[in-house]
Structure 1
Amino acid sequence: MSSAKTSSGVEAGLTALAVSLRGVTKAYDNGVMALGPLDLAVRKGEFISLLGPSGCGKSTALRLIAELSAPSSGIVRVARHEGDVLPGHGIGFVFQEPTLMPWASVRENVRLPLRLAGVPKAEARARADEALASVGLADFADAFPRELSGGMKMRVSLARALVTDPDILLMDEPFAALDEITRFRLNNDLLALWRALGKTIIFVTHSVFESVYLSQRVVVMTARPGRIQADIRIETVEPRGEEFRTSAAYSNYCRKVSAALAPSYSGQSTL
C-alpha cells in the first residue's frame, strides 16, 4: 500500500482515537434492541477484538462504524482523512464469507472497489497486485475462486479490503469457518500484516483463544442488548508467535477472558 506504516508506526499511532462510540444503541423495526447503550474508544493503530455470544450486537457495531447502518441513538465518530466526505471511505470490511465473484479472476475481485471508484485500470491493476502480494497470493492473481481453498478465498477478501489502503479494518468473524490449522496460520499472517501496515483493526470473534492471541484488547460484550461487560488488555512481549500460544501468560489471559464472558451464557462452553 502506498501509505503503509512501518511497525514503529503502530506505537506512534496510538496517540489519537480512530473510532469512538458514545451511548450508542440500535433497535430494529421489529422492536428488538440489539445493542447498547455502548461506549467504546479505539485508538489509531490498535488491534481489538469484540467477543460475545451470538446476537449480542458485535456485527451490528461493525456495521454502525462502517456507516452501513445508523444508530438509534448515541454518537459514532470515525477519524477521517482531511477532505474525506464519502461514507465508508477509509474503512475496509472483511465479512464472514469471502463473497467473491465466481466469474472473475482473483485480481478482478480485488480490483473491484477501485473500479467502482473510477481508478484508472493500470493503476488499479498495480494496486490489486500489490494487495495480493501482501497476503501471499501474488502467484494466484489470474486464478478463479473455484480454484482456491477456503483460506485462500479469505485472503482474497482481505486483499480486497486492503486495496483502497484504509486506515481502519473491520473484520467480522473472517476465519470462523476454516479448519484449525488454516485459522492459526491466518492469525499469524494477520498479526504480521498489522505490524507492517499499522492499521486499526476491530475483529469480531466467538473464540476466546483467537481473541487473546490476536488482540491488544479484548472487549467482552453482554448478551443482547450488547453492552461492554469487560475490557481486558493483553500485555505480552511483541511480536507474538507460536510460543505465546503455549505460554502460561496466554493460558491465564484465556481464563480471565472466559470468566468475563461466562455471565452471558447459560450452561454453554465459552471456549
Structure 2
Amino acid sequence: MSSAKPSSTIKASLTALAVHLRGVTKVYDNGVMALGPLDLAVPKGEFISLLGPSGCGKSTALRLIAGLSPASSGAVRVSRHEGDVQIGHGIGFVFQEPTLMPWTSVRENVRLPLKLGGIAKAEGRARADAALASVGLADFADAFPRELSGGMKMRVSLARALVTDPDILLMDEPFAALDEITRFRLNNDLLALWRSLGKTVIFVTHSVFESVYLSQRVVVMTARPGRIQADIRIDTVEPRGEEFRTSTAYSDYCRRVSAALAPSYSGRSTL
C-alpha cells in the first residue's frame, strides 16, 4: 500500500506551515557554499532553535527566510498574514546587536519601522508604547539608549521587532553577549511573550542549554555547508520555568542535543 499523502492533505499541511525550505542552498560570490541543501518545515506558532557551530549557516538561513538575501537554489516559502497594512511583510527580526539609534529616545527607536512604513505619528507612538510595555519597558519610553543596560537594550530591539505585529519572529543570537542572570531572565520573558502572542519563533543560538530550555524543537546543523544533522522535539509540561531548568528531563535533553551536535565539531557527520 502506498504511504503517499493525498494531494489535498499535502496542501492542507503546507498551509499550516509558517516557513518551508526545500532543497535550499546558498553560495556566496567568493564561491563559498554556506548552506544546504537544507530542508526545514516550521508549523505556525512553533518555537524552534537552530543550533550549530560558527559558520554553519544559521544566520544565513534566517536572512533567506527574511528575504534579506536570495537563495542560490531551492525554494523558500514563507506564510504571511493578511491585513490592510503589512509593515515588514509579516516578519520581525532581532539581530545579534541591538543597533539602536543613540540620538533619539527608546520610543522613537521602536517606532522606526512604523515611521518607515508611513504609519501616522500618533498611532505609531501608541503602538511603540504598547510594544515597550509588552517587554517590561513601559517606564523607559523617553530614555535614551545610553541610559539602558545591555539587557534593556535587547528588550528595546525585541519591542521594535514586535511593533509591526509580525507572525514570524526571527532571532539571531540576541542574548549571546549578556551575563547569565540577565540571559535566564530574558529567556523566561521571551517564553512568556511567545505563549501570549502566538508568534512563530526561529531562534539562532550556540547554547545547547538555551536551545533546550526555549524550544519545542532543536534543529542541529552540520558544519559548513549547513544541513540538518538532527531534529529533536522537546516534549515537556508547559509553561516551562525554573523547575524545568533543574529537572532530570532537561538534563537528558541537553545530553541528547549535545550528542547530536558533537559530530559537527569533530568534522564528522552522521548524515
Please report the TM-score for the alignment, with normalisation by the length of structure 2.
0.91
Q: Unmatched 5+ residue regions in structure 2?
A: 1-13
- In the other structure, the counterpart of 2:134 is 134
Alignment of 1:41-120 (within 5 A): 41-82=41-82, 88-120=88-120
1:209-267 per-position Cα deviation (integer Å, ceiling 9, x unaligned): 00000000000000000000000000000000000000000000000000000000139
Deviation at residue 80 of structure 1 after TM alignment: 1.4
2:256 is the alignment partner of 1:256:
yes
Name the counterpart of 1:194.
194
Match of 2:166? 166
Contact 2:87 2:117 (C-alpha < 8 Å) held by counterparts = no
Q: Secondary structure at the match of 1:183?
A: helix
What is the CA-CA distance between 1:15 and the residue it aligns to? 7.9
* CA contact 2:87–2:113 (8 Å) conserved in 1: no
- Aligned residues between the structures: 254
**Counterpart secondary structure, 2:131:** helix
User: Residue 211 of structure 1: SS of its match in structure 2?
Assistant: helix
Structure 1 residues 117-171: Cα deviation after superposition (integer angstroms, max 9, x where no partner): 0100000000000000000000000000000000000000000000000000000
TM-aligned CA deviation for residue 72 of structure 1: 0.2
Greater C-alpha radius of gyration = 2
CA deviations 1:49-89 (Å, max 9, x no partner) are 00000000000000000000000000000001237897941
Equivalent residue for 1:239?
A: 239
Give structure 1 regions of 4+ aligned residues with deviation exceeding 6 angstroms: 83-87
Query: What is the distance in 2 between the residues matched to 1:224 and 1:91?
Result: 26
1:260 maps to a residue whose letter is: A
State the percentage of identical aligned residues: 91
Unmatched segments (≥5 aa) in structure 1: 1-13
State the distance in 2 between where 1:67 and 1:111 align. 22
| Counterpart residue number, 2:5 | none
The alignment yields a C-alpha RMSD, in angstroms, of: 1.6
How far, CA to CA, are the matches of 2:58 and 2:180 in structure 1?
22
Write the distance in 1 (CA, Å) between the matches of 2:98 and 2:225: 28
Distance in 1 between residues matched to 2:218 and 2:52, nearest whole Å: 10
Equivalent residue, structure 2, for 1:4? none
